[in-house]
């Protein structure tokens, strides 16, 4: 819906651009401006211009909201759970119909996401060699050193980690065991969400299992940061809208 021109390609099947605003109305206004076909992005959709503010209603009476019980269980901090429960209470008071459902995909989604994302990152970031794209080192005496030093100096630790993981899962002997299997899991996740939306208008989950941590606080523990994505990666690999802070922010 929104052109990705200008975005550094991380994982092509997952990357997206969307507004983050102070309220829903501002998001609708901005989306009305940035949505549509861009000749510089062949994946952008050729669609008529639309005023998304007209979709905003004064009430949510009759809206059917599903609350997956798996997203409110173990690992969700009390503060996050309390905030969601308060939101659910307000939605009910405003006339929405809220029901608990089972969506047992979170544990599978996290592993599948990081296999697919890292594999695509490994492929996409190969172009940043110091010649065609990206940072170019001044410390080299031959072509091999130019490649090596440009990538070593230009990429941060987390980017390198994901390139290594992605190269591994795409390598001979591991492609079927990891990447191909992750794509099958992705299809299963998409099907589960599709079933949910056959009956419900909205699926309500936390964005993060914990409240915001301080900048750099978890940099030494990448696995802990990965686990913080458990509530959103399933939505991403299902191809559904969400706000997503990628590794570039980290």
**What stretch of H or E contains 112?**
helix 106-124
**pLDDT tens figures, 91-124:** 999 999 999 999 888 778 889 999 999 999 999 9
- Angle, helices 106-124 vs 181-199, to 10°: value is 130
Q: How far apart, in whole angstroms, are the C-alpha atoms of residue 218 and residue 172? A: 33
pTM of the predicted model as reported, rounded to 2 decimal places: 0.82
Is the pLDDT at 54 greater than 50? The verdict is yes
Q: What is the pLDDT of residue 214?
A: 84
Q: What is the pLDDT of residue 239?
A: 87
The CATH number of the domain covering residues in 58-237: 3.90.1300.10
Is the pLDDT at 240 greater than 90? The verdict is no
**pLDDT tens figures, 160-208:** 999 999 999 999 889 999 999 999 999 999 999 999 999 999 999 998 8
Q: What is the pLDDT of residue 226?
A: 77
Percentage, residues of the chain above pLDDT 90: 55
Q: What is the pLDDT of residue 232?
A: 86
Q: What is the pLDDT of residue 250?
A: 29
Count of CB atoms situated within 10 Å of the CB of 23: 8
Is the pLDDT at 244 greater than 60? The verdict is no
For residues 136-156, average pLDDT: 93
Report yes or no: 27 and 21 within 8 Å, Cβ to Cβ.
yes
Q: What is the pLDDT of residue 56?
A: 87
Q: How far apart, in whole angstroms, are the C-alpha atoms of residue 153 and residue 135? A: 8
3-class SS at 2? strand
Q: What is the pLDDT of residue 245?
A: 35
Is the pLDDT at 246 greater than 80? The verdict is no
Report yes or no: 232 and 244 within 8 Å, Cβ to Cβ.
yes
Q: Place 241 in a pLDDT band, splitting at 50, 70 and 90.
A: low
Break the chain into its structural domains and give their ranges: 1-56, 58-237
Report yes or no: 97 and 65 within 8 Å, Cβ to Cβ.
yes
SS (H, E, C) 175-239: HHHHHHHHHHHHHHHHHHHHHHHHHCCEECCCCCCCCCCCCCCCCCCHHHHHHCCCCCHHHHHCC
Higher pLDDT, 215 or 195: 195
Is the pLDDT at 223 greater than 80? The verdict is no
């Amino acid at each position: 819906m929104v052109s990705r021109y200008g975005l550094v390609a991380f994982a092509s099947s997952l990357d997206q651009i969307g507004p983050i605003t102070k309220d829903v109305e501002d998001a609708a206004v901005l989306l009305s401006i940035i949505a549509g076909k861009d000749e510089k992005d062949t994946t952008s959709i050729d669609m008529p211009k639309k005023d998304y503010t007209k979709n905003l209603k004064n009430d949510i009476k009759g809206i059917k909201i599903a609350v997956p019980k798996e997203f409110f269980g173990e690992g969700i901090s009390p503060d996050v759970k309390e905030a969601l429960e308060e939101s659910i209470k307000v939605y009910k008071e405003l006339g929405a119909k809220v029901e608990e459902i089972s969506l047992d995909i979170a544990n599978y989604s996290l592993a599948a996401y990081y296999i697919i994302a890292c594999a695509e990152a490994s492929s996409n970031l190969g172009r940043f060699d110091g010649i065609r794209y990206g940072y170019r080192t001044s410390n080299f005496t031959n072509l091999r050193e130019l490649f090596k030093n440009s990538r070593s100096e230009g990429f941060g630790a987390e980017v390198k980690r994901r390139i290594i993981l992605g190269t591994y899962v795409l390598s001979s002997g591991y492609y079927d065991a990891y990447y191909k299997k992750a794509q099958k899991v992705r299809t299963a996740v998409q099907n589960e969400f599709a079933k949910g939306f056959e009956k419900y208008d909205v699926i309500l989950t936390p964005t993060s299992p914990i409240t915001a941590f301080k900048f750099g606080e978890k940099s030494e523990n990448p696995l802990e940061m990965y686990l913080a994505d458990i509530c959103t990666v399933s939505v991403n690999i299902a191809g559904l809208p969400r706000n997503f802070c990628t590794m570039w922010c980290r």
